[in-house]
Chain A
Amino acid sequence: MTDSPTTLPDRDIADRLCEQVSDAFSEHTPLRIVGGNTRAFYGRPVDAAPLHVAEHRGIVHYDPVELVVTARAGTPLEALEAVLDDNHQMLGFEPPRFGPQSTVGGAVATGLAGPRRPWAGATRDFVLGTRVITQHGRSLRFGGEVMKNVAGYDMSRLITGAQGTLGVLADVSFKVLPKPPASYSLRLALSLDDALVRMTELGRRPLPITAAAWHDGELLLRLEGGRSSVATTRQELGGEPLDPSFWQALRDLRHDFFTLTPGQTLWRLSLPANTAPLALDESHSQMLYDWAGCQRFLKTTLDGAALRRACQAVGGHATCYTPTDQGGSDAPFTPLDPVVEKYHRRLKDQLDTRHIFNPGRLYAAF
């Protein structure tokens, strides 16, 4: 895949992908599913022949009035979001882009969401339907282009975030949202403890907040909604204006915070709302709070096991963002409870009997 994503034409190569999967099944040859290859850091390395999905690209159907867009998995996020933007619409889960090659399929397969997530919903909350290539090389349709659909099991949401371990995403239908008419970002000088209290207080009021972070002595807020409510809330909260590009930098892990010093690894902590700062050795760690404290990025030299224990004790979990070959954990995702793991294995065995789809990507066992 040496072509620049911007020069590739729109193409439907689903038939070819089906054949490749079918061959891999017959020959027991595992596949590593690759879109724009910008999310390789997120998960365990897969040692297998690549299945390139990037050429399967283009918007299949978009009707702004329906609030639905269907795109092929290889469509660059940038291209899709540009089309939505032309129609004053957006993907509500604010997916990160780790480069211009980042694809729709990669966004859904990893299920990562940006700063808006606590207010708008997760990736899977916006996935209405999928076309999935299954182990036998069949292209199957689940869900659809309608807002409400409870026929059959929710395969589309199950496959979101499954990192290609249950099948190959071919097409995805998203619910899209109108862009808010007004947006204003601000910064308030506040200590961490005061900021956490403030975020909890603000969360209990009907305010048009769509992002809340804390970093380096400042509470950073984004207000979005109707012009009237944004103006009123801006007046009430005060503070200094914040360049809104901060949120894209945070979303895409491009903010200066994400520069590591030698020996440090980057972790993402996912914790319940209103969780107090964890007792982690400050001399070994630096923290950036996102999602009103529910998502915390940690640069640390601390041991992963200790981190995980601290997160699990408060009902959360920790994911290592630093690849194994750069000193990161070889088990980037928190190990599953034994019963839950048993059913993960059984699901994998049912949908991918020969373990051809991204084997070991999430956990070594499947």
Chain B
Amino acid sequence: MDILYDEAIDGALAPFEKADVLSDLQHSVPTLRLLHREEDLRPFECDGLAAYRVLPMLVAMPDTLDEVETLLKRCHALGVPVVTRGAGTGLSGGALPLERGVLLVMSRFQHIINIDPDTRTARLQPGVRNLAISEAAAPYGLYYAPDPSSQIACSIGGNVAENAGGVHCLKYGLTVNNVMRVDVLTIEGEHMTLGAEALDAPGFDLLALFNGSEGMLGVITEITVKLLVLPEVAKVLMASFDNVEKAGKAVGDIIAAGIIPGGLEMMDKLAIQAAEDFVHAGYPVDAEAILLCELDGVLADVDDDCDTVRGVLENAGATDIRLARNAAERAVFWSGRKNAFPAVGRISPDYYCMDGTIPRRELPRVLNGIAELSRESGLRVANVFHAGDGNMHPLILFDANREGELALAEDVGGKILELCVAAGGSITGEHGVGREKINQMCSQFDADEITLFHALKAAFDPQRLLNPGKNIPTLARCAEFGAMHVHNNELAHPELPRF
């Protein structure tokens, strides 16, 4: 995967000189904080996908929407690409800068405009951190449900742009299911409100289209999210299995019993051992797989469901079932899962994180396929899943310093995603396409579908100035179709749990 924007494959850019753009912007938006010296630009060269680094031409850090509006109008007039960045925690290189582009950093818009407990909504500027929403809502007994792993740092604007997920998606949905309204600025600098504080709005559902559009259609300037009432109680069961397939089948059995858990997570032996070694959560290191099942809601119902799930797990052949006795033990159970990525990072110099989704029924077959690929390649693979919604995060372990191993890891990763697509799944469940999976889009969609995506884009940004080279590949790129590359030995925010 070539990180750099390639005009021959990704599309031609307008001719302009950095000095001219800088002086134009300094003149037209005098109050705008603009960075242009290499040492100032360096901290912005990557997002959470730290293996991909490109120095932006300029970094703009606006404080007001007027500045954003004028900046966009000038860039539109000059033909200068704009890459929007939130907190920079994304894992697919969606905010990877362009050498010939402005990086628009929205992180200074951090104001929680309003929390309304009666309508159960929060109005937010795009730079508000995900977790800060739930913290501000907590005094009212409310919270914001989507909880991507980086929630202490990632911002709501980026969450909308990526349609971020988390461990509670099966029951509570992704970002798109929890956002009521967004205000956006178009590349032409026009203000537009999509969605409403009411439960619907007239016209096309452009709100849904903007969720997960990866900064390709407009710049998000304000978000209204719905807040949920905090569940009365949450309980976690941990079940051990001596066989991965049995664990996979147990996942389906829980759903078949009519229960939608708040979270339903699975880890295989290598992931269990790495996590236990790292955080000492009391995981059974001799088990082939564990399931973590969180049930939340009204106390009486949760107790009933716990009994049901326990019975299902026993019938599915669980060798051990433990119920967290209190909130502290519940947090310990979760800590291993939430620290699985850094835990795997401790046992291998490099790892390569995948984000494929599959129908749950395909889990045993895809797992066997992954094990086969691991055997063939000699590379270890640790498996961590959002098992309830079929979102897999296989972590391929390798050492980039060994000749050819990176290429081998890329090859295995590509084949895993092909397994997911062949099983009726998707190349990305929650991390987004960004720059990272731009080539894999060609295996999930055919030329007609990609052409339609370009038509959607052209409706909003015919000059292709917003985040060019991301999300949707050109047909020229698909013709060139290369192997995938998700080398990721160094996360930009190692302090964040990744799950």
Contacts and interface: CB of A to CB of B under 8 A. Distances in A.
A268 to B, nearest CB: 10
A147 B359 CA distance: 8
Given A117-B199, A148-B389, A334-B202, A225 B119 contact: no
B294 to A, nearest CB: 16
Nearest to B233: A206
A274 B433 CA distance: 39
A134 B357 contact: no
Interface residues of A, number: 85
Contacts, number: 269
B452 A351 contact: yes
A152 B298 contact: no
Interface stretch (B21-29, B72-80, B250-258): B250-258
A124 B203 contact: no
B285 interface: no
Nearest to B425: A146
Given A140-B452, A145-B424, A146-B426, A68 B191 contact: no
A11 B186 CA distance: 44
B328 interface: no
Interface in A90-145: 111, 117-118, 121-122, 124-125, 134, 136, 138, 140-142, 144-145
A249 interface: no
A165 to B, nearest CB: 8
Q: Indicate the member of A136, A144, A146, A341 with the most B CB atoms within 10 Å.
A: A146
A148 B448 CA distance: 23
Contact of A151 (B206, B211, B260, B426): B426
A222 interface: no
Interface stretch (A76-84, A186-194, A278-286, A311-319): A311-319
A90 B162 CA distance: 29
Contact of B357 (A122, A146, A334, A362): A146
A173 to B, nearest CB: 10
Contacts of B391: 147-148
A227 B203 contact: no
A26 interface: no
B305 A347 contact: no
A155 interface: yes
Contact of A144 (B252, B424, B433): B424
B372 interface: no
B298 A226 contact: yes
Nearest to A161: B205
B215 interface: no
B198 A146 contact: no
A200 to B, nearest CB: 5
Q: Indicate the member of B199, B304, B386 with the most A CB atoms within 10 Å.
A: B199
Given A117-B199, A146-B424, A315-B197, A158 B301 contact: no
Contacts of A146: 357-359, 389-390, 424-426, 429
A160 B176 CA distance: 14
Given A148-B426, A206-B230, A346 B453 contact: no
A148 B200 contact: no
A50 interface: no
B433 A157 contact: no
B141 interface: yes
B144 to A, nearest CB: 15
Contacts of A335: 202
B54 to A, nearest CB: 23
Contact of B169 (A148, A204, A205): A148
B165 A148 contact: yes
A144 B445 CA distance: 11
A342 to B, nearest CB: 8
Interface in A223-261: 225-229, 232
A357 interface: no
Contact of A317 (B198, B259, B303, B390): B198
Contacts of B445: 151-152
Given A63-B361, A125-B173, A291-B199, A151 B118 contact: no
B204 A347 contact: yes
Contacts of B327: none
A178 B308 CA distance: 15
Nearest to B217: A153
Given A151-B428, A272-B197, A317-B198, A162 B204 contact: yes
A362 B275 CA distance: 54
A125 B163 CA distance: 13
Interface stretch (B9-17, B454-462, B491-499): B454-462
Nearest to A338: B190
A306 interface: no
A274 B472 CA distance: 41
B347 interface: no
Given A146-B359, A206-B231, A295 B199 contact: yes
A138 B448 contact: yes
Contacts of A160: 205, 208
Contacts of B96: none
B201 interface: yes
B138 to A, nearest CB: 13
A146 B431 CA distance: 15
B208 A273 contact: no
Interface string B100-144: 000000000000000011111100000000000000000011100
B186 A339 contact: yes
Contacts of B258: 88, 178-179, 181
B193 interface: yes
Contact of A225 (B301, B358, B449): B301
Contacts of A162: 204-205
A344 interface: yes
Contacts of B38: none
Nearest to A148: B429
B174 interface: yes
A200 B120 CA distance: 9
B213 interface: yes
Contacts of B468: none
A134 B448 contact: yes
Given A158-B206, A227-B304, A65 B255 contact: yes
Interface string B165-180: 1000110011011000
Contact of B212 (A150, A179, A207): A150
Given A229-B297, A294-B199, A153 B169 contact: no
A232 B298 CA distance: 10
B229 interface: yes
Contacts of A150: 162-163, 165, 174, 212, 426, 428-433
Interface of B: 116-121, 140-142, 162-163, 165, 169-170, 173-174, 176-177, 186, 190-194, 196-206, 208-209, 211-213, 216, 229-232, 252-253, 255-256, 258-260, 297-298, 300-301, 303-305, 357-361, 386, 388-391, 424-433, 437, 441, 444-446, 448-449, 452-453, 455-460, 471-472
Given A140-B449, A153-B457, 5 more contacts: A140-B452, A146-B359, A151-B444, A154-B163, A154-B176
**Shortest Cβ-Cβ A-B pairs, 5 listed:** A226-B301, A228-B300, A157-B208, A148-B429, A147-B389
9 contacts: A117-B199, A152-B445, A153-B213, A161-B205, A162-B205, A200-B118, A204-B140, A294-B199, A315-B198
